[in-house]
């Protein structure tokens, strides 16, 4: 095994936005930094390259008052989010964007209220390789250049296999290259930033879905939960199964690469109905597409769900945002059943026609009577107004759950320190980004924002490590 002679102030596992933000800031603050990335590709794949680039905080503009943002995080997560974590994200959201801008990262403003900061040039609608030279891709390129300028180092083709703490209170990281060469890296501090466990079907099967092979991988397909499992071996506390951030996609995404990572069917299902293969509702559509994607993943048959809309929904909600399906979904070749009669839709989808008609009738009646709460399951209007299904033609879309990143993971405090079983911080070990838990999830699968939490917590970790390093 080859060993690095240098003992780094900080070794970072993973070179997505969370790891690279932490690395650049720590280098700015005078720390010796080494980033270890398992992919050997120049443009290594990670979710940052696939992002649409919207920096928001719980679907609010980061420029809003921190108290407003903090309260929104608690509301959206139904009180699940750790108060200190939520407050930290809210307090430093805009500040983190300003820091990126100081490095030359460019943003544009979009049309929706929380689209105030979108990475430029925007990746408004993309599949396949259309992410190249767009916002997320350029962000990582910029951060790598900044890291080099501040004497930090990024090494590709370095998969961290094991981490242990030596008797000298150093961390020893055993890395493997694609040529099976083993390398030992020594560091005083370690930041885990290798993403969630969304591409590890064994872990997904333990809580996200009983049939993970029927959940679409709407991601870079690189995050296997290695950092989380290494943290567990070191005694970390983990909340593993708090759902995932993702969207409802056309079921044809499994066979048609033009149908992911977008368009989404979230707005259609949230305004209309989400049905199982029998033509029955099974989730509260009003809680929005991320919640609904999680509910689809939990079905006995995750490939047996459908979004139902009428003509009004299709035209008023179908192009609501830049990932909307009207007309992009049809243009890309997705399956849609269209008819003036619900019975025809049921027949084409193999549903029970009587159940479908009854489901729609009951829904329309309770909507007209302003009694959506009496439905089973109940229907609220948290994230979307409920529309009647009355105007023909009607549309039925076969959908699937598309997972972007998992919300559960390593528990940390507001300094990004990894917590032990008694929730005391573990000296020298940190975690940032999608490999962490404690902020997003809960009963309503509350979503705060992957880009903003990664940037804020990457900066928090770097600042804390620097202060500890330079303390008298």
Model confidence at 114, pLDDT cuts 50, 70, 90, reads confident
CA atoms of 185 and 11, how far apart (whole Å)? 8
pLDDT digits (tens, 9 = 90+) for 280-305: 999 999 999 999 999 999 999 999 99
Model confidence at 334, pLDDT cuts 50, 70, 90, reads very high
Domains of the chain: 2-241+407-469 (3.50.50.60), 246-403 (3.90.700.10)
Predicted local confidence at residue 470, as pLDDT: 75
Cβ neighbors of 124 (< 8 A, separation 6 or more) are 52, 322
pLDDT digits (tens, 9 = 90+) for 387-417: 999 999 999 999 999 999 999 999 999 999 9
Predicted local confidence at residue 349, as pLDDT: 97
Q: Which two tokens stand for residue 332?
A: 């890309």
pTM score over 0.85: yes
CA atoms of 466 and 110, how far apart (whole Å)? 36
CA atoms of 405 and 416, how far apart (whole Å)? 19
Reference 439, options 66, 88, 62; nearest CA is: 88
The size of the chain, in residues, is 472
CB neighbour burial string for 407-436, b if at least 16 within 10 angstroms, e if fewer: bbbbbbbbbbbbbbeeeebbebbbbbbbbb
Question: Is residue 352 helix, strand or coil?
Answer: coil
């Amino acid at each position: 095994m080859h060993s690095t002679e240098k003992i780094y102030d900080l070794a970072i596992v993973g070179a997505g936005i969370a790891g690279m933000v932490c690395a650049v800031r720590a280098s700015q603050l005078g720390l010796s930094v080494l980033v270890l990335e398992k992919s050997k590709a120049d443009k290594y794949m990670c979710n940052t390259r696939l992002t649409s680039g919207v920096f928001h905080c719980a679907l609010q503009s980061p420029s809003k008052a921190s108290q407003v943002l903090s309260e929104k995080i608690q509301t959206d997560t139904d009180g699940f989010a750790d108060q200190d974590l939520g407050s930290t994200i809210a307090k430093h959201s805009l500040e983190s964007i300003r820091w990126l801008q100081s490095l030359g990262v460019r943003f544009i403003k979009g049309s929706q209220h929380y689209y105030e900061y979108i990475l430029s040039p925007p990746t408004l609608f993309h599949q396949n390789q259309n992410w190249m030279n767009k916002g997320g891709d350029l962000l990582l390129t910029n951060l790598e250049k900044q890291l080099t300028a501040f004497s930090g180092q990024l090494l590709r083709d370095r998969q961290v296999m094991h981490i242990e703490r030596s008797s000298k209170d150093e961390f020893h990281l055993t890395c493997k290259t694609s040529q099976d060469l083993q390398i030992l890296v020594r560091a005083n501090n370690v930041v885990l930033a290798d993403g969630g466990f969304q591409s590890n079907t064994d872990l997904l099967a333990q809580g996200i879905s009983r049939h993970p092979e029927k959940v679409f991988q709407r991601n870079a397909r690189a995050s296997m939960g290695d950092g989380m499992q290494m943290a567990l071996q070191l005694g970390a506390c983990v909340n593993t199964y708090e759902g995932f951030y993702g969207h409802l996609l056309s079921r044809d995404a499994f066979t048609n690469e033009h149908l992911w990572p977008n368009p989404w069917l979230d707005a259609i299902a949230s305004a209309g109905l989400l049905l199982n293969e029998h033509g029955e509702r099974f989730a509260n559509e009003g809680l929005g597409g991320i919640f609904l994607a999680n509910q689809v993943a939990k079905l006995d048959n995750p490939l047996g769900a459908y979004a139902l809309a009428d003509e009004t929904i299709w035209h008023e909600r179908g192009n609501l945002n830049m990932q909307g399906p009207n007309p992009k979904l049809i243009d890309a070749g997705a399956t849609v059943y269209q008819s003036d009669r619900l019975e025809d839709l049921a027949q084409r989808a193999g549903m029970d026609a009587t159940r479908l008609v009854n489901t729609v009738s009951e829904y329309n009646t309770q909507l007209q009577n302003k009694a959506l709460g009496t439905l089973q399951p109940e229907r609220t209007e948290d994230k979307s107004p409920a529309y009647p299904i009355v105007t023909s033609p009607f549309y039925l879309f076969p959908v699937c759950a598309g997972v972007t990143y998992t919300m559960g993971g390593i528990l940390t405090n507001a300094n990004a320190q990894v917590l032990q079983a008694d929730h005391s911080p573990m000296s020298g070990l940190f975690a940032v980004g999608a490999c962490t838990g404690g902020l997003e999830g809960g009963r309503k699968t509350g979503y705060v924002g992957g880009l903003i939490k990664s940037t804020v917590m990457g900066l928090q970790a770097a600042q804390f490590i620097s202060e500890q390093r330079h303390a008298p």
